[in-house]
C-alpha cells in the first residue's frame, strides 16, 4: 500500500523545514531507518530516516522548498495492501463503509527520531536573536519563511512584537513592523531596508559555469556573517606574540600529556590566556541586549572554538573554561572537534559561547580580520607560529613568532579595550610562568 509520510515535529516550536538534500529519488527502494532526506529548520539540520521499507512512489517537495510540519513529504509504496491516494489525506468511504462522506484524517505513524547532524542551534545561524537580562540566550520563534521576509525587508526579528501562537513572530508581524504599524521592542530604532538591505544582484552567464544552490548550512553561515557585519561596528587590532618560551613548555609537557591520553597543542594555553584577559576586560565578555538597550557583562566564560566541519564553519563551545586545567581543555577541544567531524555534536556543544577564538592551526596564515560571532563583542584570530629573526638585546636571534588579531564591536568596546586585552594575552603567552600563576 502507499504510505504517506508526513513531516514530523522535529523540535519544539518548529513548524516547517527547508529541504536541503534528498538522499533518495522516486523509484528507489529504501530500507527501514535508511536516511532519506536532510532538512534545515531554524533550530537544526536533521537527517530523517525512512519510517517504512519499500519503494519511493512520490516526492512532494524539491530541494530548497519549505515543507510545513504535518504535510505529506513523500509517499512510500510498502506493498503491504491496497493502494491509497497520496497528498490530501481524504478518502471516499465513511466510517461505516457505505461509500459516502470522508474518512477521518489519518495520523502519521511515529517515525524514528531524526538525528541532529551538525547545526543544532549553531551560534553562526540566525536562530538566536535576543539575550535575556541574565545573559542567557533566548530564541525568537519564527519560521524560515518569516525570517527570509524579515531579511528582505531589513527588519530585526528581535524587535518585532509577536502575535503568533506561543510567542511566534509571524509574517504579518514583520510586515506591520516594517510599515511602522507596531512599536519596536525597546528603544532601539528599527533597521530600514535602505540601511540593512541591498538590491539583489543577478549574475549573468559568462562562460563555463556551475551553479550550486545556496541552502542549508552554507545559507545559515551566510545569514549569520551578514548580520554580524551589518550590526556590529567591527575594528581589528593585531599584535605579534613571541611564543618561544611557550613552545619550550609545550614540548616538555607533551610526554606527560600523552601518558594521560591527551594530544597537547597550543590552543588550550591560548584559551587560558584569553580567559585571564577577559576577567580584566569584562566588556569583551559581554553582549548588547537590543530589546532593553542593556549591556550584559557575563561572569561566566564559555569559549567558542571556530572549527571547520563537513558542511562549513561551526563554533563549538568549551563551557566554564576558567575552571578547567590545560589537559582538561585539550580533551574537551578534541572531543568537540571530533563531534563536529562525525556529525554528532549536540545543541549544548554548539550554543552559548561568550567569546570566540578562531584558529586554523598550521594553516593560520599571517593575518586575518575575523568576523565577530554575533551577538558577542569580540573574536580572536590565531595565526601560525613560525621561526623568524627577531632583535633581542641588540642581537638578531631566531624566535617562534605568531600574530594574534582581535575584531571588536566598537559599539560596546573602544580600541583601548581591545588593545589592552590583547597586550595582557601577549604577556601571559610570552611568559608561561606568569600565566600559570594567573590560573584559578
- Annotated active-site positions, please? 410
Give CA–CA dist 108/137, Å, rounded.
34
Q: Among 321, 316, 297, 322, which Cα is nearest to 376's?
A: 297
CA distances 440 to 62, 282, 299, 322, Å, are 54, 17, 14, 7
Give CA–CA dist 355/203, Å, rounded.
37
Amino acid at each position: 500500500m502507499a504510505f504517506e509520510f508526513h513531516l514530523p515535529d522535529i523540535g519544539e516550536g518548529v513548524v516547517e523545514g527547508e529541504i536541503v538534500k534528498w538522499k533518495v529519488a522516486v523509484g528507489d527502494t529504501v530500507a527501514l531507518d535508511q536516511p532519506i532526506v536532510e532538512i534545515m529548520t531554524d533550530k537544526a539540520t536533521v537527517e530523517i530516516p525512512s519510517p517504512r521499507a519499500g519503494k519511493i512512489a512520490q516526492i512532494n517537495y524539491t530541494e530548497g522548498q519549505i515543507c510545513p510540519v504535518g504535510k505529506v513529504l513523500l509517499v512510500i509504496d510498502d506493498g503491504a495492501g491496497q493502494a491509497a491516494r497520496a497528498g490530501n489525506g481524504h478518502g471516499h468511504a465513511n466510517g461505516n463503509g457505505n461509500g459516502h462522506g470522508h474518512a477521518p484524517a489519518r495520523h502519521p505513524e511515529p517515525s524514528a527520531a531524526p538525528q541532529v547532524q551538525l547545526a543544532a542551534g549553531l551560534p553562526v545561524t540566525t536562530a538566536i536573536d535576543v539575550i535575556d537580562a541574565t545573559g542567557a540566550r533566548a530564541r525568537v520563534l519564527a519560521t524560515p519563511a518569516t525570517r527570509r521576509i524579515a531579511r528582505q525587508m531589513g527588519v530585526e526579528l528581535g524587535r518585532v512584537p509577536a502575535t503568533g501562537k506561543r510567542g511566534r513572530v509571524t509574517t504579518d508581524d514583520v510586515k506591520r513592523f516594517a510599515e511602522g504599524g507596531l512599536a519596536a521592542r525597546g528603544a532601539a530604532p528599527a533597521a530600514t531596508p535602505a540601511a540593512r538591505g541591498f538590491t539583489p544582484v543577478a549574475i549573468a552567464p559568462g562562460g563555463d559555469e556551475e551553479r550550486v544552490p545556496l541552502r542549508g548550512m552554507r545559507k545559515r553561515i551566510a545569514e549569520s556573517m551578514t548580520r554580524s557585519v551589518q550590526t556590529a561596528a567591527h575594528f581589528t587590532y593585531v599584535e605579534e606574540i613571541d611564543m618561544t618560551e611557550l613552545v619550550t613548555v609545550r614540548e616538555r609537557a607533551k610526554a606527560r600529556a600523552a601518558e594521560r591520553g591527551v594530544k597537547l597543542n597550543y590552543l588550550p594555553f591560548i584559551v587560558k590566556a584569553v580567559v585571564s584577559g577577559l576577567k580584566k576586560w569584562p566588556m569583551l565578555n559581554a553582549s548588547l541586549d537590543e530589546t532593553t538597550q542593556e549591556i550584559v557583562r557575563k561572569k561566566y566564560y564559555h569559549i567558542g572554538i571556530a572549527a571547520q566541519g563537513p558542511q562549513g564553519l561551526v563554533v563549538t563551545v568549551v563551557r566554564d573554561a576558567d575552571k578547567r586545567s590545560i589537559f582538561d581543555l585539550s580533551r574537551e577541544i578534541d572531543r568537540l572537534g571530533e563531534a563536529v567531524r562525525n556529525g554528532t555534536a549536540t545543541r549544548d556543544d554548539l550554543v552559548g559561547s561568550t567569546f570566540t577564538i578562531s584558529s586554523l592551526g598550521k594553516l593560520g596564515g599571517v593575518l586575518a580580520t575575523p568576523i565577530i560571532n554575533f551577538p558577542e563583542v569580540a573574536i580572536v584570530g590565531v595565526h601560525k607560529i613560525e621561526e623568524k629573526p627577531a632583535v633581542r638585546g641588540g642581537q638578531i636571534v631566531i624566535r617562534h613568532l605568531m600574530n594574534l588579531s582581535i575584531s571588536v564591536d566598537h559599539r560596546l568596546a573602544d580600541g583601548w579595550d581591545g588593545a589592552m586585552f590583547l597586550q595582557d594575552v601577549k604577556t601571559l603567552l610570552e611568559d608561561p610562568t606568569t600565566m600559570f600563576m594567573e590560573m584559578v
